């Protein structure tokens, strides 16, 4: 994925798609493709922190002192449970991968129908990926800087936020842990 997101190009392209018919189907394929791309980016970024983000260092999945995230997948774990940050991310990445691999949710063939709940599944994926970014920024940013990954993290997050905000994929209240950073990204555009 290039710098196109920063230029507002994706938003321009999206507005050209109709909400029905072939335009909507193509838009869902692009949503699906970008969901995979953002999943891979977050997975890679978090992967550089696994020796520092341990159950001992991060006993709960948090984004600063005011935000704690509990895990539930609605299938195996129906009631949200408190888990360490690494366990939360492990559950999350496994859950997202199972969603992406499920052809009834993310069809592989162009023209294959998407399920009626596709947008809700995508919104849940993006909301939960945001939580990993929030945890990284609040709990591991100094380590990111020492690993010289700050520019990469910031660029990935900028692309992620511009896309999710353009298409209202994450409720505003969910963005609160990084609101100040998000405003510095959104305001210039």
Give the domains, in start order, of the chain with CATH numbers: 3-186 (1.20.140.30)
CA dist 9 and 53 (Å) reads 35
Q: What is the mean pLDDT of the chain?
A: 86
* Mutual angle of helices 150-166 and 118-146, in 10-degree steps: 160
Residue 27 pLDDT grade (very low, low, confident, very high; cuts 50, 70, 90)? low
CA dist 31 and 54 (Å) reads 32
pTM for this prediction: 0.86
Mean pLDDT of 47-61: 97
CA dist 57 and 63 (Å) reads 14
**N residues, the chain:** 189
Tell me, what's the pLDDT at 29? 60
DSSP state letter for 22 = H
Residue 98 pLDDT grade (very low, low, confident, very high; cuts 50, 70, 90)? very high
């Amino acid at each position: 994925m290039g710098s196109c997101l920063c230029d507002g190009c994706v938003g321009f392209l999206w507005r050209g798609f109709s909400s029905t018919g072939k335009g909507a189907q193509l838009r869902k394929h692009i949503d699906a493709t970008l969901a995979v791309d953002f999943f891979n980016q977050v997975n890679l970024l978090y992967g550089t922190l696994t020796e520092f983000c341990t159950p001992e260092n991060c006993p709960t999945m948090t984004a600063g002192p005011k935000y704690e995230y509990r895990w539930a997948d609605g299938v195996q774990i129906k009631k949200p449970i408190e888990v360490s940050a690494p366990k939360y991310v492990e559950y999350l990445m496994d859950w997202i991968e199972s969603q992406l691999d499920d052809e009834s949710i993310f069809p592989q063939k162009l023209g294959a129908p998407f399920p009626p709940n596709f947008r809700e599944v995508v919104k849940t994926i993006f909301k939960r990926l945001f939580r990993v970014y929030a945890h990284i920024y609040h709990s591991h940013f100094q380590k990111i800087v020492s690993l010289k990954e700050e520019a990469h993290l910031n660029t990935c997050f900028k692309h992620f936020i511009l896309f999710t905000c353009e298409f209202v994929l994450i409720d505003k209240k969910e963005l609160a842990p990084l609101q100040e950073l998000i405003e510095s990204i959104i305001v210039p555009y």
